[in-house]
Amino acid sequence: MAAPLTNWPPELPQAQLSALTLLATTYALSHGLVYLPVAQEQPPAPTSVIHAPLALFPSPIPRRLFELAKRLQRIYNVLYARVAMDADFLDQVMGEEQGVGKVDEFTGQLWRRWRQLRDEGVAQPLQLGLFRSDYLLHAPSNGEPVSLKQVEFNTISSSFGALSERSADLHKYLYRSTGYYDTSPYLKEDNLPPNRTIAGLAEGLAEAHKAYNAPNTRILIVVQNGERNVFDQRWLEYELLEKHSVKVVRQTFDELATSARVDPSTRVLTLALAPGLILPDGAARVEISVVYFRAGYTPVDYPTPAHYDTRALLERSRAIQCPSIPLQLAGGKKVQEVLTRPGVLERFLGDAADADRALLRASWMRMWGLDADADGGVAAARAQAHGLVLKPQREGGGNNVYKEAIPPFLDALPPTERAAWIAMELIVPPEGLGNYLVRAGGGTDGAVKADVVSELGIFGWALFGGQDSEVREKEIGWLVRTKGKDSNEGGVAAGFSVLDSIVLV
Ligand code: ADP
Ligand code: MG
Ligand code: MG
């Protein structure tokens, strides 16, 4: 293993650490690497921000594994597009009759709406995915070389694309302005890879907008009430407007419940704009080309059945969904597990090179369903609990059950609910890595040194579903989130980790 993977970051005297922290937080605030502050209630027009939690040094990733992750993304883009287009498969795995939807209320609600939409006839065959595939470095103590293992594949609300670009730029700025005090031969410009995720994500949205092909339309971003990570979304809006001349409108499910209308004959989706946003020609409604969900990935976003109906209304239209309900279902942890079973990858990527399928397989940890008979299901999960994580069909962090918490959890889990959970072997990240973590409110002496684990995410987009069955796709950038070694979970929004970037080693 390369030296810096075991001895990182360089040791800095307090004075240099304080200087770096001042430069970092000032840069973050100047460049929109920011969040809304925690407040009981956000004012409608914000008056202040805090910098996002950040790492002072980039984290080491072997160059060959970074290149591998980018290569894998192109294959995953196609794989998940094809899963989303395979209704039989999704019915079987996620449906209410045979699959997870039978026992998981959230999955069932989404699947039922989708089935009804299929019965009515889907108005828009095209779908857009803005994906993020997440990985940890795997360095088991058995002497195997360090490898790349997939944590999960996100098909909805894949966030931190914009802020990860800013944090990569932050580290480049710290390097250029201080040389990182010449503390490591690895800290040089060639080892800090570019990250242009904002342009990439906006390009995906703009391509879908173009494919919709109608004048005077806008992209709708469906947002959560009280979202604090709004700047990560706003950067995409500015890019769409400045580079693609595409306007955006943001609304919550609650607003959409009264503003959204789908014309029954043309299936055109229009929204009533807020009073202040009435168009110059006096039109109070605007047609939507693409619906981009930064909400709707968690049951919390659907407090009533009417909220699911609003989701279904949007999908009943000819607006291109990002993601569609089937693409959201394709991102379920259950699908990730089923893909590892014999023959399933061939179903979707039978035309791919053997080498490509082998690369995907090599990126997987062992997984099984808690309801499985053949692989031991619950019994195997009990026996191997110390090396496992259990996952339900949820997104956004904080839902998993780890190690010693597994046996008591299994004691309490009704057997009927086992089908909603998968067991996954724990990835073993390299030891000996640290970083200086800076959270808002810490002051210039507030950088905290910690032993850390870094999670690499690769972004991609895919536009698919047209008659030619072609999947247009691209790998577009990356994210590194770094967390304290002793935290099981890793979400930035959930407060577990900080934004980071890469130094190639
Ligand atoms: P979510 O969709 O809620 O983000 P994840 O599958 O990404 O769910 O799990 C949340 C976090 O748990 C990850 O960011 C990672 O830190 C940790 N984690 C998940 N799976 C594993 C695994 N197999 N090995 C080690 N850590 C894991
Ligand atoms: Mg995750
Ligand atoms: Mg996820």
Higher-confidence residue: 488 or 426? 426
DSSP states of 434-482: EEEEE-TTS-TT--EEEEEEEEEEEEEEEEE-STT--EEEEEEEEEEEE
Helix (H, G, I), strand (E, B) or coil at 28: helix
Q: What pLDDT shows up at residue 6?
A: 72
Residues at the binding site are 132, 152, 154, 156-159, 227-229, 233, 294-297, 333, 391-400, 402, 424-427, 455, 481, 483, 489, 492-493
Indicate which residue of 391, 475, 497, 501 is catalytic: 391
Q: Taking the complete model, does pTM exceed 0.90, yes or no?
A: yes
Cα-based angle 328, 99, 361 (whole degrees, multiple of 5): 65
Buried b (16+ CB within 10 A) or exposed e, 127-160: bbbbbbbbbbbbbeeeeeebbbbbbbbbbbbbbb
Phi/psi at 77 (5° precision): -55, -45
The burial of 485, by beta-carbon neighbours within 10 Å (0-12 exposed, 13-18 middle, 19 or more buried), is given as middle
What is the mean predicted confidence (pLDDT) over 316-328?
98
What is the mean predicted confidence (pLDDT) over 196-221?
98
Please give the ipTM for the structure prediction: 0.99
Q: What pLDDT shows up at residue 5?
A: 66
Residue 142, pLDDT above cutoff 50? yes
Surrounding residues of ion ligand 3, Cβ less than 5 A: 152, 154, 395
Quote the ligand 2 centre to 180 CA distance (angstroms).
Answer: 31
Quote the ligand 1 centre to 490 CA distance (angstroms).
Answer: 7
What is the tens place of the pLDDT at every residue in 451-493?
999 999 999 999 999 988 899 999 999 999 999 988 777 667 6
Quote the ligand 2 centre to 133 CA distance (angstroms).
Answer: 9
What is the tens place of the pLDDT at every residue in 389-419?
999 999 998 999 999 999 999 999 999 999 9
Residue 272, pLDDT above cutoff 60? yes
Q: What pLDDT shows up at residue 95?
A: 97
Q: How far apart are CA 289 and CA 219, in angstroms?
A: 6
Place of tokens 């060639």: 190
Least confident stretch, 36-45, 152-161, 164-173? 36-45
Residue 169, pLDDT above cutoff 80? yes
Instruction: Give all domains of the chain, ordered by start, each with its CATH number.
Output: 3-365+434-504 (no CATH), 366-426 (3.30.1490.50)
What is the mean predicted confidence (pLDDT) over 17-21?
95
Q: How far apart are CA 226 and CA 253, in angstroms?
A: 12
Ligand 1 nearest atom to the CA of residue 395, by list position: 2
Cα-based angle 104, 460, 481 (whole degrees, multiple of 5): 75
Ligand 1 nearest atom to the CA of residue 365, by list position: 23
Residue 1, pLDDT above cutoff 50? no
Q: Quickly state the pLDDT bin for 356 (edges 50, 70, 90).
A: very high
Q: What pLDDT shows up at residue 376?
A: 80
Residue 69, pLDDT above cutoff 90? yes
Q: What pLDDT shows up at residue 487?
A: 79
Indicate which residue of 77, 159, 195, 363 is catalytic: 159
